[in-house]
C-alpha cells in the first residue's frame, strides 16, 4: 500500500523541484521526476500550462489528458495519482496556497476561480492567452530570483494582475459576466467551505444548517438550486472521499476507520459503505488494493 503524501509548500521533498517557495507561493519549471511523490492529496492549488508534449493524470479517481496549450488547475482537497509525462513534456508550474488565494482575491472571485476548475481542471487556451500567461510567468520567475526589500510586494502585485488577466481570458469559457453572489450562492459556498474544513465530516444536514444559522429545509433548497444536489448527497460525496483515502492509504482496520469517521458502530459503517459503494468495506478495500497493485506493475513494465 503506497503512502499518500500531503501536497503542500512545506514538504521538504517537494521543495527540491521549485526555484522559489515562500510558504504560500512557489514556481517550478521542471517536475519530470515528481511522479515518485504520487499519490498526493493537495493542500494547495496546482497550476500548470503545458508548453510542449502531453501528460496523463488521475484526480480523485478520474483520468485527464493535458496537452500543449492546456491550462491545468487542480484545487485543494483533491487526490492526484498515476501521473505520466511524455519525454518532451515542458510546462510552467505555479503552486499557490488557499490562504494566498483568499488573501489576494475577494470571496466572490476566489469561489468563481475554484468552481470553474472543480468542474473541469483542464482548459485549452488560445495562442494569445498562452503568450500572456508565459509573459507573466517569465516576469515572475525573474523577480523571484532577484531578492530585494520590495520583492514580496512586487510578486504579490504581479500575481494579482496575473490572476485577474487569467480570469478575463477564462470569461469566454465561463460565458457569463462576473456579478455579485446571490444570497443563495453565498450560503452554498459557505456550506461547502464548512464541509471541506471539517474532519471527520458530520453527516447530518442539520449540523451544517445550524452553523449557517438557517433551517435544514432552506439549506436543502439552496443546494438543489445552486448545486443541483441535495445537501445529504454532497455530504456523502465528501465522506466517501475520506473513506476511500483511509481504505487505500492507511493500514487502519475497518473498525478503526469507522471509529475515526465517527460512525456509531461497525454495522452502521458497513451498511453505509454497501449503500454507496455497492460492496462491504472489506471487499472494497481488497478491490482498491488489487487495482493499485495492477497499476504499479504496469508502471514497472
DSSP string over 158-225: HHHHHHHHHHHHHHHHHTS---PPPHHHHHHHHHHHHHHH-SSPP--HHHHHHHTTS-HHHHHHHHHH
**10 and 26 in contact (C-beta within 8 Å)?**
no
Return the bridge partners of 62, or none.
59
pLDDT tens readout for residues 40-58: 888 888 888 999 999 888 8
**221 and 210 in contact (C-beta within 8 Å)?**
no
Q: Which one-letter DSSP state was computed for residue 2? A: P
Return the bridge partners of 20, or none.
27
Lowest mean pLDDT among 9-18, 155-164, 212-221, 265-274: 9-18
Q: How many CB atoms lie within 10 A of CB 154?
A: 15
pLDDT tens readout for residues 264-287: 999 999 999 999 999 999 999 998
**249 and 1 in contact (C-beta within 8 Å)?**
yes
Bigger pLDDT: 61 vs 70? 70
What average pLDDT does this structure show over 75-94? 84
What average pLDDT does this structure show over 113-120? 71
Collapse the DSSP code of 299 into the 3-class scheme (helix H, G, I; strand E, B; otherwise coil) and give the result. Answer: helix
* Domain locations in the chain as residue ranges: 5-174, 183-300
pLDDT tens readout for residues 201-237: 999 999 999 999 999 999 999 998 887 789 999 999 8
**235 and 295 in contact (C-beta within 8 Å)?**
no
pLDDT at 235: 94
pLDDT at 169 over 50: yes
Band (pLDDT 50/70/90 cuts) for residue 95 is confident
CATH number of 5-174: 2.60.120.280
Q: What's the angle, vertex CA 75, arms to CA 43 and CA 252, rounded to 5?
A: 50
Bigger pLDDT: 203 vs 122? 203
pLDDT at 187: 93
The structure's pTM equals 0.60
Fold exhibited by the domain 183-300: Arc Repressor Mutant, subunit A (1.10.10)
pLDDT at 299 over 50: no
pLDDT at 177: 46
**67 and 134 in contact (C-beta within 8 Å)?**
no
Q: Which one-letter DSSP state was computed for residue 87? A: T
pLDDT at 37: 63
Kindly list the distances between the CA atom of residue 62 and the CA atoms of 120, 181, 201, 280, in Å, as whole numbers in the listed order: 11, 30, 23, 22
Band (pLDDT 50/70/90 cuts) for residue 147 is confident
Amino acid at each position: 500500500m503506497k503512502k499518500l503524501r500531503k501536497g503542500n509548500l512545506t514538504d521538504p521533498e517537494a521543495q527540491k523541484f521549485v526555484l522559489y517557495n515562500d510558504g504560500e507561493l512557489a514556481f517550478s519549471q521542471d517536475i519530470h521526476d515528481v511522479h515518485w511523490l504520487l499519490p498526493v492529496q493537495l493542500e494547495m492549488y496546482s497550476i500548470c500550462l503545458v508548453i510542449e508534449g502531453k501528460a496523463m493524470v488521475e484526480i480523485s479517481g478520474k483520468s485527464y489528458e493535458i496537452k500543449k496549450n492546456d491550462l491545468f488547475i487542480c484545487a485543494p482537497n483533491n487526490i492526484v495519482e498515476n501521473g505520466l509525462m511524455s519525454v518532451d513534456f515542458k510546462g510552467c508550474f505555479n503552486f499557490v496556497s488557499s490562504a494566498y488565494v483568499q488573501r489576494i482575491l475577494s470571496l466572490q472571485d476566489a469561489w468563481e476561480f475554484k468552481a470553474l476548475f472543480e468542474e473541469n481542471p483542464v482548459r485549452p487556451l488560445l495562442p494569445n492567452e498562452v503568450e500572456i500567461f508565459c509573459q507573466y510567468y517569465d516576469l515572475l520567475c525573474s523577480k523571484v530570483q532577484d531578492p530585494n526589500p520590495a520583492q514580496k510586494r512586487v510578486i504579490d502585485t504581479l500575481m494579482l494582475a496575473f490572476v485577474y488577466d487569467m480570469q478575463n481570458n477564462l470569461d469566454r469559457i465561463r460565458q457569463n459576466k462576473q456579478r455579485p453572489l446571490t444570497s443563495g450562492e453565498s450560503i452554498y459556498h459557505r456550506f461547502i467551505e464548512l464541509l471541506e474544513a471539517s474532519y471527520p465530516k458530520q453527516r447530518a444536514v442539520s449540523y451544517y444548517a445550524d452553523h449557517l444559522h438557517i433551517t435544514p429545509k432552506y439549506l436543502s433548497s439552496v443546494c438543489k438550486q445552486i448545486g443541483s444536489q441535495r445537501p445529504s448527497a454532497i455530504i456523502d460525496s465528501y465522506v466517501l472521499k475520506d473513506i476511500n483515502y483511509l481504505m487505500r492509504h492507511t493500514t487502519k482496520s475497518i473498525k478503526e476507520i469507522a471509529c475515526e469517521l465517527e460512525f456509531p458502530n461497525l454495522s452502521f459503517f458497513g451498511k453505509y459503505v454497501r449503500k454507496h459503494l455497492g460492496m462491504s468495506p472489506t471487499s472494497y478495500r481488497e478491490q482498491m488494493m488489487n487495482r493499485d497493485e495492477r497499476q504499479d506493475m504496469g508502471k514497472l513494465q
